[in-house]
Structure 1
Amino acid sequence: MSKLFRSAPGGLRGLTALSGVLVGSLLLGACGGGSTGAGGSDEGSGDIVIGSYGPLSGPAASISVLYDGMQAYFDEVNAKGGIKGHKVRLKVQDDQLNPAQTPSAARQLVERDKALMMCGPSGSPTTMAVKDYLEARNVAIVPGAGSSELTGRTSYLQVPTYTPLAAQLAQYAVEDMDMKRVAIAYSEDSVGKPTVAGARWQLEQMGRKPVAEVTYNATAPDQSALAAKLKAAKADFVIINNTAPVISQVFKAADKIGFRPQWGTVWPALNKNLLELSGGALDKGNIVFSSPFILGDAPEAGEYRAVLDRHKPGLDVTDTIVMLGWTSATVCHQVLERAIEAAGGKTPTREQVVAAMPGLTYDDAYVNGLRWTEDNRTGQREANVIGVKNGKFVALTDFRELPDAPENQR
């Protein structure tokens, strides 16, 4: 038996650590109803409430499968007795991935639902909109995003930051693909800035410079101006990072003017939705991804597929956003387990959950090399490169140590 589901009263012993459109303010699966008491548990039940927010409706609603992956994980935990006897209730609020709506969603989770921690909330800009609020209330955060500025007193990343992932793409383009003219397209936000910084740094380490660094508006419906600039730079490899709905518009605009470079992007867009939204622009498999996750259809992911089939049948197991939900739940599980131990088996306080985060370490088939300390709150340090062949995602490399690109550059 794998170390993922060992038989023990606490269930899932040893864990440390965008397709379906869901509309409205959703309480997923086993969330249930009833009032919640202070400390993040149902009064008299011992259940633990954890919260998250993300786009359950609107243009980015395909990301909502993240919460399906998370719910399937916790459904399995609860079926095996919960975490040291405590059942987990996941509550998710819809913010449409809009930072203007996130504060209201976070307040409902913290003040009404008494969520003990935030597990896998979507989006760097949205989490930045509520990070100070959550920290002021001692709410632990394990973001479902990779911007280094998300780290803080109560916030620790599970996934690597975008900076070393972008550096890995630049390294792979030059050293593995022998690309000569690498360009970077980026949005002026917490997703784009670390991407351009990491890619630029890695190119400098190899004695190169990008042939173009082009900014774009991620909310613009027409990306033809960006495509024209990249084509004029004669780029043969373009590094870009955003969600599938955003970068698919770039790919379509480039294809429309006959510009078909090799594209390099990061895990948030690694799903079949990207291939469909791109309208044939990626039919030749001209894209690679830097990802900290194994593919959901890999032999090592058998337990993951079995649990999804039991609790959330029909999910696309190859969608990296589903895998993100699973791994986020994995890490939150271990934080809670450590906190419950510190509380003597009782429901922990928010302060005890925060105190359980530094010192957490974990490795398994799904979470590679997580090491949290007081000084290092960033995520995993390994990733592999994924490509597309005949419409199917395939691993092009083994997991590699990510380049040591410094954070917070500009």
Structure 2
Amino acid sequence: MIRPSLRLTSALLCALSLTLTASCSGARYRSTTDDGARTGPGSVSTAQCDSYQPTAGVSDKDITLGTTLPVTGPLAAAGTIRYGLQAYFDYINAEHGGVKGHRVRLLVRDDAYDPARAATNVGELTGHSNVFALVSPVGTANVLAFRDDLEQQCIPNLLVASGAPAFADTAHPWTLTGLPTYSAEAAALAETITASKKVKTVAVLSQNDDYGRAYLDAFQARLAGSHVKVVAKRTYDVTQPTVDTQVTQLAATKADAVLVAALGAKCPQITNGIADTTWRPKVLVGSLCTTRSLMQLMKPAARDALVTTQWYKSPGNKRWASDPAMALYRKKIAQYAPKADPNEDFVLNGWLWGQLTVDLLERAPKLTRADVMSTARAASLKTDTMLDGVSFRTGPDDASPLESLQPVQYTASGFSPIDAATGKLLPNGETKLVSFEGTSGKTK
């Protein structure tokens, strides 16, 4: 069965049909390597496992996966990842016979973005519910709360919804991030201001945890030796009701730019707070700040000139209105997850991670935990919902699978890609990715 992809063969089949028929738009997606070859497994050892159960969660008919994420609480927007995951698995089950004849089941648990609850959820999922693997659990502190337990049991922890460098570490072979590292994103944002002669000073407001520190460290490392100087740094705790004091203190610096390393509701709170002052810096934010639900909470003045990065086809971008992959996504979200907002980036992320999960399961020689994790550790995949030029690559010494980003600048009416080397907006339809290995980068 062929799924729509960016391979020439699939493109030609659709072109021969002259119009986008159901056989093309409804076909099952298969990711490819750059040359179209299938990936093969690497080698993940089970020697250190306390009790390795290779096929736990796999029956004659089903393969059961689990996730824990914030369905409720201050970061509930990220919990909508579950809609995209579930919709893709339901689509594969109903229309393509599942994976190797197995229906993919997903068990979802709400942790309200609380690490203790996340650890409890995972204990139940891997114990009583006996899931085969975790897929796309959300949050740095949350995943750190149970990562080592999964490692000791040799349970795959796939496509973690956190870009913390801790999850792009070959020393933890059973855990794999599903995002570009925050370090790479922070470095890409730094690139956009080092190219500008107008920006000489920058302030930083960051979340007081591993997430915020990862951004700050990489951002400062990328600015080292450049003409741009960090003139002030402030932090906030997730539980703080407001960040007004920090915004006021940073506004007093009159810095030319500000890095906002925030999550959830704090993103619009901070950007709106800046817009309410007389300070007009270039505002740099992580991509998790620019999901549809958060952008809708920002005032037009707060969205204007906002700079972030992208690596997937954002469903809020009109550029993808007629894209076949996005048309299929919207159709199936409406069919299998009618409560979800298809324009929400987190929903698209879930769908994309569902694509990658199914690909990894299919490519594994057998449906065993070691084979699936080994396959994930030696992958070169491309989904049709990623930007052109972006791929998912891993290897024995590379646990950072997504290393290409496109800087973009928002306005009150939309956004445009940026050439990081010049700081100039690119014409509609053009991209110029910044590619990174670790936190060193170059423009492609």
- Structure 1 length as normaliser, TM-score? 0.84
Residues 76 and 274 (structure 1 numbering): CA distance in 2 closer, same or farther, change over 3 Å?
Answer: same
The separation in 2 between residues aligned to 1:403 and 1:355, in whole angstroms, is 24
- 1:227 is the counterpart of 2:243: no
Q: Give the aligned residue type for 1:97.
A: Y
Match of 2:340 in 1: 315
Match of 1:169 in 2: 189
- 1:288 is the counterpart of 2:303: no
Match of 1:83 in 2: 99
Match of 2:377 in 1: 358
- Contact persistence 2:177–2:401 (CA under 8 A): yes
- 1:53 is the counterpart of 2:68: yes
Q: How does 1:313-352 map to 2 (within 5 A)?
A: 313=338, 315-339=340-364, 342-343=365-366, 348-352=367-371
- 1:248 is the counterpart of 2:250: no
CA drift of 1:393 comes to 4.6
Q: Give the aligned residue type for 1:353.
A: V
Report SS of the residue matched to 2:115. coil
Residues 372 and 166 (structure 1 numbering): CA distance in 2 closer, same or farther, change over 3 Å?
Answer: same
Q: How does 1:243-282 map to 2 (within 5 A)?
A: 243-279=263-299, 282=302
Q: Give the aligned residue type for 1:337.
A: E
* Identical positions, percent: 24
Q: Give the aligned residue type for 1:349.
A: T
The separation in 2 between residues aligned to 1:350 and 1:180, in whole angstroms, is 50
- 1:303 is the counterpart of 2:328: yes
CA drift of 1:81 comes to 0.8
- Contact persistence 1:267–1:320 (CA under 8 A): no
Q: How does 1:117-156 map to 2 (within 5 A)?
A: 117-141=133-157, 142-151=159-168, 152-156=172-176
Q: CA RMSD in A?
A: 2.7
- 1:402 is the counterpart of 2:423: no
- Contact persistence 2:84–2:333 (CA under 8 A): yes
- 1:2 is the counterpart of 2:4: yes
Report SS of the residue matched to 2:80. helix
The separation in 2 between residues aligned to 1:280 and 1:177, in whole angstroms, is 26
- Contact persistence 1:289–1:385 (CA under 8 A): yes
1:138-170 deviations in whole A, cap 9, x for unaligned?
Answer: 111120110010232201122210011111111
Residues 205 and 359 (structure 1 numbering): CA distance in 2 closer, same or farther, change over 3 Å?
Answer: farther
CA drift of 1:255 comes to 3.5
The separation in 1 between residues aligned to 2:307 and 2:347, in whole angstroms, is 19
Match of 2:40 in 1: none
Report SS of the residue matched to 1:286. coil
1:215-270 deviations in whole A, cap 9, x for unaligned?
Answer: 22232112012102211221221112222312222223334444342211112122
Q: Give the aligned residue type for 2:133.
A: M
Q: Give the aligned residue type for 2:209.
A: D
- 1:187 is the counterpart of 2:220: no
Q: Name which of 408, 423, 428 aligns with 1:386.
A: 408
Report SS of the residue matched to 1:282. helix
Residues 167 and 384 (structure 1 numbering): CA distance in 2 closer, same or farther, change over 3 Å?
Answer: same
- Contact persistence 2:207–2:237 (CA under 8 A): yes
- Contact persistence 2:70–2:110 (CA under 8 A): yes
Residues 233 and 69 (structure 1 numbering): CA distance in 2 closer, same or farther, change over 3 Å?
Answer: same
The separation in 2 between residues aligned to 1:105 and 1:369, in whole angstroms, is 31
- Contact persistence 1:222–1:253 (CA under 8 A): no
Query: Where does the alignment leave 5 or more consecutive residues of structure 1 unmatched?
Result: 18-36
Query: Where does the alignment leave 5 or more consecutive residues of structure 2 unmatched?
Result: 11-22, 34-52, 419-425
The separation in 2 between residues aligned to 1:293 and 1:177, in whole angstroms, is 29
CA drift of 1:55 comes to 0.6
- Contact persistence 1:184–1:240 (CA under 8 A): yes
- Contact persistence 1:149–1:190 (CA under 8 A): no
Q: Give the aligned residue type for 1:272.
A: R
CA drift of 1:356 comes to 2.1
The separation in 1 between residues aligned to 2:197 and 2:415, in whole angstroms, is 18
Match of 1:33 in 2: none
Range 152-161 or range 180-189, more displaced? 180-189
- Contact persistence 1:68–1:325 (CA under 8 A): yes
**Count of equivalent residues:** 378
1:293-350 deviations in whole A, cap 9, x for unaligned?
Answer: 22224143333223223322363333221121122112211221123xx22xxxx232
Report SS of the residue matched to 1:309. helix
The separation in 1 between residues aligned to 2:29 and 2:149, in whole angstroms, is 32
The separation in 2 between residues aligned to 1:229 and 1:150, in whole angstroms, is 33
Residues 137 and 224 (structure 1 numbering): CA distance in 2 closer, same or farther, change over 3 Å?
Answer: same
The separation in 2 between residues aligned to 1:111 and 1:53, in whole angstroms, is 14
- Contact persistence 1:139–1:350 (CA under 8 A): yes
- Contact persistence 1:386–1:393 (CA under 8 A): yes
The separation in 2 between residues aligned to 1:229 and 1:135, in whole angstroms, is 43
Match of 2:82 in 1: 67
Residues 83 and 210 (structure 1 numbering): CA distance in 2 closer, same or farther, change over 3 Å?
Answer: same
Q: Give the aligned residue type for 1:128.
A: L
Q: Name which of 214, 221, 226 aligns with 1:206.
A: 226
1:189-224 deviations in whole A, cap 9, x for unaligned?
Answer: 221111112211221253432122222223211201
The separation in 2 between residues aligned to 1:322 and 1:206, in whole angstroms, is 38
Match of 2:120 in 1: 104
CA drift of 1:14 comes to 2.7
Range 212-221 or range 74-83, more displaced? 212-221
Residues 153 and 240 (structure 1 numbering): CA distance in 2 closer, same or farther, change over 3 Å?
Answer: same
- Contact persistence 1:50–1:116 (CA under 8 A): yes
